[in-house]
Amino acid sequence: MGYCCCTSSSSSFNHLVTNFTPRFKGLKIPHQNKWPDGSQRASKVYAYHGLKTPPYKLDALEPYMSRRTLEMHWGGHHRSYVEALNKQLEKNDILYGHTLDELVKVTYNNGNPLPEFNNAAQVWNHDFFWESMQPGGGDIPKLGLLQQIEKDFGSFTNFKEKFIEAALTLFGSGWVWLVLKRKEKRLEIIKTSNAVTPLVWDDIPIISLDMWEHAYYLDYKNDRGKYVNVFMNQLVSWNSATARLMYAETFVNLGEPKVPVA
């Protein structure tokens, strides 16, 4: 549940606020009535970004990803990013008017990130990561997604090998993504360091894999290879990926071969 308090009836500010973190309830938020250029704001809006819950129980990914890992990763690290972001937003009123997606893009600031970027991007990245997995995941994609993967990677086996190779050659902490490139109209595997997310280049993410050590250490210690293979064979949600690709088709005409839309 979110928290949003407006002192006027204006609905011009929309915030993606879900599963509000109780710790912030009742917190007094400093607010400025004017934009930096001195013009008057239309309304006072107090809002926070919330800690979104994974779409399954915390033990639902066992034995491949333990409840202990989810408690630490979602309940600890992800929560910390949310709380740190909200603390930063207390001090930067001008950023209140953005959804989380917009906040990530705006604070990236064309490659010169503002202080809020890392926390905003990590909140977005983790929301997306939880929904990139499902109980009983793995297997192979169906319908149009499989066709598109075969078109862009030659075969599903080749795609898997390239995704795993990308994950295992990522230096340090970061993310591996399957994205749809808007201009090229094709799927690509990309790697990003630290908090950087393909949203900032206007790519459309389809799947993500968290390659920060906190994502796998409790279950797999330093065996990144085992973690990545388990993700691909047992956890990845092709259902989410298929839905995301279908949604992406609203914006990108993939051309031939046609990707069937249910």
**Which is nearer to Fe ion, 46 or 231 (by Cβ)?**
231
Alpha-carbon distance of 64 to 11, in angstroms, equals 44
DSSP 205-238: EEEEEE-SGGGTHHHHTT-HHHHHHHIIIIIB-H
* CB of residue 77 to Fe ion, shortest distance in Å: 5
Instruction: Report which residue's Cβ sits closest to Fe ion.
Output: 210
Residue 85 identity: L
List of residues 6+ apart from 115 with CB closer than 8 A: 88, 107
- Residue pair 89/96 in contact (Cβ under 8 Å)? The answer is yes
Q: Where are the alpha helices (DSSP H) in the chain?
A: 67-72, 79-91, 100-108, 117-130, 143-153, 156-168, 217-220, 224-230, 238-248
Q: Minimum CB separation from Fe ion for residue 227, in Å? A: 12
**Number of helices and strands in the chain (H, E):** 9, 5
Minimum distance from CB of 73 to Fe ion (Å)? 6
Complex with Fe ion: residue 70 or 215, whichever CB lies closer = 215
Q: Which is nearer to Fe ion, 187 or 195 (CB)?
A: 195
Output the smallest distance, CB 211 to Fe ion, in A. Answer: 9
Nearer to Fe ion, 45 or 195 (CB): 195
Provide, rounded to whole angstroms, the least separation between the CB of residue 195 and Fe ion: 10
Which residues in this chain contact Fe ion in the complex, by CB under 5 A?
210, 212, 215
